[in-house]
Amino acid sequence: MSKLTRRRFLEDSLLAAAAAVPAVASAGTPATKQADRVRVGVMGVRGRGRAHVKAFRDAPDSEVVAICDPDTAVIGPAMEAVPDATYYRDIRAMLDDARIDAVAIAAPNHWHALATIWALQAGKHVYVEKPISHTLMEGRAVMNAARRTKLVVQHGTQARSQSATRQAMDWLHSGGIGRVTRARGLCYKRRESIGKVDAPINPPSTIDMNLWTGPARLEPIRRRQLHYDWHWVFNTGNGDIGNQGVHQMDIARWGLALDDHPRSVMSIGGRLGYDDDGETPNSQLVCYDFGPKEILFEVRGLKSGPYRTAHIGVVFTGEHGYLVSAAYNKVVAFDLDGNVTRTFTGGADHEHFQNFLDAVKAGRPDLVHASVLDAHRSTALCHLGNVSHLLGRSVALGSVDVPFHSASANEAFDEMRDHLRSNGLDPDNTLVSVGATLAFDDALERVVGTNADEANTLLTRTYREPFVIAEELFQSA
């Protein structure tokens, strides 16, 4: 039987079997455990979760014993990769499986925090994809749960484990390009329109929408594609700033040696160039003020050229040159004239998974390269940018002159306006959200001053029973 035919046969068989069982499958017979193997259950296997399955299957010291996904139509490739694994539709049933030592979470963003907390409370170590939270306050809750259980949590910002980026950050900190006070993160990733529907779609019969929705609002699906395009709806996603951007925020914070939240945040942008069912900005520039240091982050979902050789990455500007992190396994330094002065290479995704396994086997949460604290701080930047956007006032792009208090941010805004014009958008007829300036208290993790009441409401969400994070976990650590 050919590979393709065998896969189709397996998928069809799984779908038929799933239709004949309750929403939660039974645990089955426990597998024999080798003493040095970490037994992993993977939640969410349509996209990134398949990489989790492969990584933990291929590692010499781990095995995948369970997978979990509320949509039986997407589990075929994962079950083919680990045919002896037990399938669960409900994460709670998988967490009851005593064989499992660790849970890898690659579900949509709105599930990340709750699934992590439930797994920790069930005594499981956790590898969770970025972003670690769907709202800022969820990040605090995850940190509190990790501290209380003393279990290992690794965040899926895999650049932290790749040698090229690690060496480049050390070199940057040692003064490789002189004093560095500014980083510019880029997500110049072309995103086509997701289309527009006249009425809510009917989800496929293969999916349990109650389980898929979890802690989010259970509401009609008003987009053509249920999967992936949840990124562009605030109920379940965080836009590209909270999708791709978490990686760049993390590297920017790392390179600038920032260990606190920003003093203030302001966003400008919108969903521009097409009218579709997406809600999150496809064009966005955010300025993060850290006092003497600054992070700029920009999303360009329309056609764009690079900035200093990069479409996706971070550019650090120093006294003697600039450093471009455009790939986690290759980072390049330039002098002020644009000549290459240093190149750092090396690294692969599997090293991040292995770092997690090493920490689990050692019982040492401190050994992970992407800590819960770093995950929370980096993800919080994304959330604050979106809160500023949501509280903004809608004005014509052409009427905006110098929206930021930072000269470098205003220069970037001029470039953003030119970019939009090059995509055929007339500034006088293009509305953008000029976001609220949010002053942020690092210790309280709250917006203070103007816009505080509205902004702090957007730092959390109303949860849907029984998919609720305990209120006590939101308290200051």
* Same domain assignment for residues 153 and 169: no
pLDDT (tens digit per residue) in 441-452: 999 999 999 999
C-alpha 421/C-alpha 6 separation (Å) is 51
Q: Are residues 28 and 92 in the same domain?
A: yes
- Which one is predicted more confidently, 1 or 144? 144
Domain count, the chain: 2
Of 268, 295, 274, 280, give the one whose Cα is nearest residue 243: 280
Query: Could you tell me if 330 and 468 lie in one domain?
Result: yes
CA distances 253 to 92, 158, 180, 246, Å, are 35, 15, 12, 11
Same domain, yes or no: 305 and 419: yes
10 Å CB burial of residue 348 (0-12, 13-18, 19+) is middle
Instruction: Give the per-residue pLDDT at 35.
Output: 54
The CATH code of the domain that includes 286 is: 3.30.360.10
Q: State whether 143 and 168 are in the same domain.
A: no
Length of the chain, in residues: 477
Tens of pLDDT, residue by residue over 304-328, are: 999 999 999 999 999 999 999 999 9
Mean of all residue pLDDT scores within the chain: 93
Looking at the fold, whether 93 and 79 belong to one and the same domain comes out as yes
Quote the CA–CA distance of 303 and 382 in Å, as a whole number.
Answer: 22
Over the stretch 151-171, which tens digit does the pLDDT of each residue have? 999 999 999 999 999 999 999
- Full domain range(s) for residue 43: 17-158
Higher-confidence position of 29 and 50:
50
**Number of alpha carbons in the 13 Å side-chain half-sphere of residue 321:** 17
Residue pLDDT, tens place only, 276-291: 999 999 999 999 999 9
12 backbone dihedrals φ, ψ, rounded to 5°: -65, -40
CATH code, 93: 3.40.50.720
Per-residue H/E/C for 382-417: HHHHHHHHHCCEEEEHHHCCCCCCCHHHHHHHHHHH
* pLDDT > 80? residue 460: yes
Please check whether residues 182 and 100 belong to one and the same domain: no
Q: Is residue 12 in a domain?
A: no
